[in-house]
Amino acid sequence: MDRTQSADWAGRAEATLRERGHKASAPRSAVLALIGRQECVVSAQDIADELKRGRQKVGIATVYRTLEILEELRLVQRLDLGGESARFEPATPDGHHHHHHFVCRICGRAIPFEDDSLERVIDVLGKRLKATVEEHDVILKGVCPDCEG
């Protein structure tokens, strides 16, 4: 099911880009495919490195430019998890369960989790504030089980 969803994401992204008048290209497709395969966050450098190991090499500038477009179209979400660089993950279509992140201070790994009560509270909160809330991130920081003790 993961794989099905992944394929969907890349396909949906390609379609959206085409609709918006963007042209197809091998490097861009490779980036989309890789992002679609992610269950959690990756940095621009991660993407470039991963692709470099494969057959399709992609310049880091292209990775950034592609991510910029995807972010504008809300196909990926940019996250600042406190590391050196920004990280990105495929955005979930509206209403679908999306997750948040626990970041380990020791190993730096980001571990995704979801929680319905949390979403509900944030929903209510959004209504209480006068502002229009378009997106939200919850970041927990601490020590993960592997690094514990």
For residues 51 to 90, the per-residue mask of contacts with a copy of itself, x marking binding by CB under 8 A and - elsewhere, is ---------------------------x-xxx--------
Write down the residue that tokens 């406190």 correspond to: 82
> What residue 58 binds from DNA, a copy of itself, none (CB within 5 to 8 A, per partner kind)?
DNA
Q: Least Å distance between CB 73 and a copy of itself?
A: 15
- Identify whether the C-beta of residue 5 lies closer than 8 Å to the C-beta of residue 21: no
Q: Length of the chain in residues, anyone?
A: 149
Work out whether 62 is an interface residue with DNA (CB under 7 A). yes
Work out whether 81 is an interface residue with DNA (CB under 7 A). no
Write down the residue that tokens 């979403």 correspond to: 119
Cα–Cα distance for residue pair 71/66, rounded to 1 Å: 9
Cα dihedral across residues 73, 132, 80, 121: positive or negative? negative
Residues that bind DNA (CB under 7 A): 17-18, 21-28, 43-45, 57-62, 64-66, 68, 84-86
